[in-house]
Amino acid sequence: MAPKFDTEKMQERQNFRNVWHTDLTHSIQGDTPYCCFALWCSPCASYLLRKRALYNDMSRYTCCAGYMPCSGRCGEAKCPQLCLATEVFCCFGTSVASTRFLLQDEFQIQTTQCDNCIIGFMVCLSQVACIFSIVACIVGIDELSEASQLLSCLADMVYCTVCACMQTQHKVEMDKRDGKFGPQPMAVPPPQVMSRIDQATPPAIGYPPQGYPPSGYPQHPPQGYPQHPPQGYPPSGYPQHPPQGYPPSGYPQNPPAYPQYPPGPAYPPQAYPK
C-alpha cells in the first residue's frame, strides 16, 4: 500500500506549477550565513527546519513527515522532540528529503530540471563510490583502494554541499511563507489550455437549445396557436377579402390598362406640325 501511495504522490508532484523562491544553484546567494550554518551543523538545521515547517506545533510531528513505512509507529505522540532529534541524527538524508516533500506538497512546488540533475548526480556519485569501495575490498589492490577513498571523499563533499544548499532553499521558502520578504506580487496566471484531441467534444447545441424555453414557459410557437392562415379566419360576419360584391356593380372588374405612350397614330394632333 505504501509504494502505491508514494507513486501516486510522485505523479501528483509532476503536475505542480509553483517553483521554489530560489533554486539550488542560487541558494547560497539567497542566504549565505544560513548556508554555512547548514553545512557545519546539518542535523541542527534539519531539526529547526522541520519544526518550523510544522509551524512550531510538534503535536503535528510524524516520523519522516509520514513518507516512510515507519511513520506513525515510533511513538511520536509521546515525545516528538526526542523522535525528531533521533531522526535528524540517525537518518539525516531522509529528514532533509522529508522536509522537502512536506513543503512541496503544502505549496505545490515542482522540482526544476536543474535541481533534479544536481540531486541525481549526488545520488549516483554516492552509489559509484560505494561500489568502488566494495570492489577495492574484494580485490585488495592498493591503487584501487586509494581511488575508492578519493571517490568516497568527493561523494561526501558533494552530499554535504547539496544538502546544505537544499536546507537553505527550504529556509528561504519558509521566509517567503512567513512574509519576511514583504507582500508577494500577484503571480502571472497560467496560460490557457488549448483544446486537445483527447478532450471530450462538447455536445452540439441546436436552436433553440435543449431545455429552452424553461418548463412552464409557453413553447415557441405555443401549442394551439392559430395556423397560418387560421381556419375560420376572418370570423363570420367580417367582410372577406375581397368582400363579396366587390367591386360594386357598374365598376370595371379589372382596372383599366395604362394608356399607351405615346398614343397611337392620332398623336400628335393634326394641327401640330410633325
Structure confidence at residue 76 (pLDDT) = 83
Structure confidence at residue 113 (pLDDT) = 85
The CA distances from residue 262 to 68, 256, 258, 259, 273, in Å, are 112, 17, 11, 8, 16
Q: Is the pLDDT of residue 127 over 80?
A: yes
The answer as to whether 171 is a domain residue is yes
Average pLDDT, the chain: 76
> Which tops the pLDDT comparison, 28 or 205?
28
Residue 202 confidence class, pLDDT cut points 50, 70, 90: very low
DSSP 66: G
The answer as to whether 119 is a domain residue is yes
The length of the chain, given as a count of residues: 274
CB 175 within 8 A of CB 42: no
The answer as to whether 152 is a domain residue is yes
> Which tops the pLDDT comparison, 172 or 231?
172
Domain count, the chain: 1
The answer as to whether 252 is a domain residue is no
Q: Is the pLDDT of residue 237 over 70?
A: no
> Which tops the pLDDT comparison, 226 or 18?
18
Per-residue model confidence as pLDDT tens digits over 70-115: 887 888 888 999 999 999 999 999 999 999 999 998 999 987 888 8
Task: Tell me which range, 1-10, 59-68, 187-196, is most confidently predicted by mean pLDDT.
Answer: 59-68
The answer as to whether 253 is a domain residue is no
Range of the domain at 15: 2-177
Task: Tell me which range, 9-18, 202-211, 237-246, is most confidently predicted by mean pLDDT.
Answer: 9-18
Q: How far apart (Å, rounded) are the C-alpha atoms in residues 274 and 271?
A: 9
Q: How far apart (Å, rounded) are the C-alpha atoms in residues 178 and 184?
A: 11
The answer as to whether 207 is a domain residue is no
Share of the chain above pLDDT 70, in %: 62
Instruction: Kindly state the average pLDDT of the residues 35-63.
Output: 94
The answer as to whether 161 is a domain residue is yes
Q: How far apart (Å, rounded) are the C-alpha atoms in residues 172 and 177?
A: 9
CB 64 within 8 A of CB 91: yes
SS3 109: strand
Structure confidence at residue 114 (pLDDT) = 87
> Which tops the pLDDT comparison, 175 or 9?
175
The answer as to whether 90 is a domain residue is yes
Q: Is the pLDDT of residue 31 over 70?
A: yes
DSSP 54: T
The three grid cell numbers given for residue 201, joined into one nine-digit string? 467534444
